Amino acid sequence: MSYDITKIRNNFPVLHRKVYDKPLIYFDSAASSQKPVQVLMAEEKLHNDYYGNIHRGAHFMADKATEDFENIRVQVRNFINATHREEIIFTKGATESINLVAFSFCEAFLNEGDEIIVSEMEHHANIVPWQMAAIRKKARIVKLPFNDSGILEIEKLPHLITPKTKLIAVAHVSNVLGTINPVNEIISIAHQKNVPVLVDGAQAVPHLKVNIQEMDADFYVFSAHKMYGPNGVGVLYGKKSWLEQMPPYQGGGEMISEVSFEGTTFNELPYKFETGTPNITGVIAFGAAISFLNETGLTEIAGWEHSLLEYATEKLKTISSLRIYGEAAEKSGVISFNIEGIHPYDLGMLLDKMGIAARTGHLCADTVMAHFGIDGCVRISFGMYNTMEEIDIFIAALHKIILMF
Ligand code: PMP
């Protein structure tokens, strides 16, 4: 199947706008992707047609909204090939999904003196919740390092795992380095020692096909807004056997079975972990985003984004004052870099004035910045809708900026 980039771009009205009178070049999909009309229309349809609060159905509207919401749970299960629908918990994003596990799993299984292994290339969302849990339980965080090419030193992992290790937290794809980590191998090493693994899939799910049963992750988290879907919706996949043993994360409506002043019994999975009125609109629009991803084809998207990555990397390497952070062979469409003598904020600001949206700063990954001894960098990241022509314009913009300095 050929990749019809014009057709794909036409699904995203926002890509046709101008910024400072220049055509928008959106190179910040790793932060949040743009939304196709299919997603916007799903939101509109719900509100024009059948909106009601879910799981409280005493009428047609509530029943119809509940039915759609629960169908999307099944759609998410199918999308990642999970075994059971009850293993899909809706949250407000990857961050909340990790916080849920860091609270509930650690409440049940982490004790004083225990250890959690966290990779050095994690987003803050996959470090801080573990640190908070470790403080609460008087446990310890152990670092799994990466090398200067941005590759995890997984040969060290078997030695880092001790009888005190209770969990390993690792990104599937790094949001700074772009490295696609060998999560299957990591999980297999961990499982040989009966240690569960949480995989942060926020940067993976929009770009490569995930098969949870094959991967055998114990927990896998991601956010809809990086998948061409709405913000405020995320997923926690958790193996039923773990989720059943974990206490609820928050208390309130939906997660209860019965409440009295003497005590409360909790609902079954997945509702035990879903409190209050969820983001009904967001979840239903998320379904449209998944359908859109499936129709476009993840293999095709991955192939296209890989061509963009190779093309841009080759061009960037011709700039002698530019350093790329993250040069793993297995890499997704993310390039972080600095140019000698130019502060990343200045670079980002000048690119912006040329219509190019790039991300600047620490990228919520201080430990990665510390590894390279930098305060920040510039990151470009690709989505299914970016083009080689945009890369050419971006490279020309960089040359112009270098001349200005
Ligand atoms: N993990 C990674 C690797 C990310 O890139 C991000 C988002 N930048 C997150 C977690 C957090 O995602 P969210 O803000 O959607 O909760």
What domains are defined for the chain?
5-36+297-400 (3.90.1150.10), 40-294 (3.40.640.10)
Around Cβ 193, how many Cβ atoms within 10 Å? 13
Please say if the pLDDT value at position 1 is more than 80. no
Q: Distances from the Cα of 182 to the Cαs of 155, 191, 205, 233, 255, in angstroms?
A: 12, 14, 15, 27, 35
Top mutation candidate among 199, 203, 363 for ligand 1, by most atoms within 8 Å of CB: 203
**Hey, what are 362's tokens?**
């620490």
Q: Tens digits of per-residue pLDDT, 54-82?
A: 987 789 999 999 999 999 999 999 999 99
Output the 3-class SS for 98-162: HHHHHHHHHHHHCCCCCEEEEECCCCHHHCHHHHHHHHHHCCEEEEECECCCCCECHHHHHHHCC
pLDDT score of 253: 83
Distance 30 CA to ligand 1 centre (A): 9
Q: Strands 219-223 and 197-200, how do they pair? A: parallel
Q: Whose alpha carbon is nearest atom 4 of ligand 1?
A: 202
More confident residue, 195 or 1: 195
Question: Would you say 203 and 172 are in contact if contact means Cβ atoms under 8 Å apart?
Answer: yes
Please say if the pLDDT value at position 254 is more than 90. no
Question: Would you say 165 and 130 are in contact if contact means Cβ atoms under 8 Å apart?
Answer: no
Average pLDDT rounded to a whole number, residues 351-374: 97
| Angle at CA of residue 202, ends 359 and 246, nearest 5° | 140
**Cα separation, 304 vs 383, whole angstroms:** 9
Distance 125 CA to ligand 1 centre (A): 7
Average pLDDT rounded to a whole number, residues 189-196: 98
Atom of ligand 1 nearest to the CA of 31: 8
Question: Would you say 222 and 88 are in contact if contact means Cβ atoms under 8 Å apart?
Answer: no
Please say if the pLDDT value at position 113 is more than 70. yes
Q: Strands 165-171 and 356-357, how do they pair? A: unpaired
pTM above 0.95, yes or no: yes
Q: Strands 359-361 and 377-381, how do they pair? A: antiparallel
Direct distance between the N- and C-terminal alpha carbons of the chain, in angstroms, rounded to an integer: 45
**Cα separation, 344 vs 361, whole angstroms:** 7
- Torsion-angle region of 86 (φ positive above 0: left; ψ -120 to 50: alpha; else: beta): alpha
Q: Which residues pair with 91 in a beta bridge?
A: 234
Q: Whose alpha carbon is nearest atom 6 of ligand 1?
A: 202
pLDDT band at residue 2 under the 50/70/90 scheme: confident
**Cα separation, 94 vs 29, whole angstroms:** 15
**Cα separation, 148 vs 324, whole angstroms:** 11
Distance 165 CA to ligand 1 centre (A): 25
Ligand 1 is surrounded, with C-beta below 6 A, by: 93-95, 123, 125-126, 171, 175, 200, 202-203, 223, 225, 364
Distance 104 CA to ligand 1 centre (A): 20
Place of tokens 């690709």: 382
Top mutation candidate among 101, 130, 200 for ligand 1, by most atoms within 8 Å of CB: 200
| Angle at CA of residue 396, ends 390 and 400, nearest 5° | 140
- Tell me which residues are annotated as active site: 364
**Cα separation, 173 vs 181, whole angstroms:** 6
pLDDT score of 58: 82
Q: Tens digits of per-residue pLDDT, 132-170?
A: 999 999 999 999 999 999 999 999 999 999 999 999 999
Average pLDDT rounded to a whole number, residues 203-209: 97
* Helix (H), strand (E) at residue 200: strand 197-200
* Helix (H), strand (E) at residue 70: helix 60-80
Average pLDDT rounded to a whole number, residues 48-58: 89
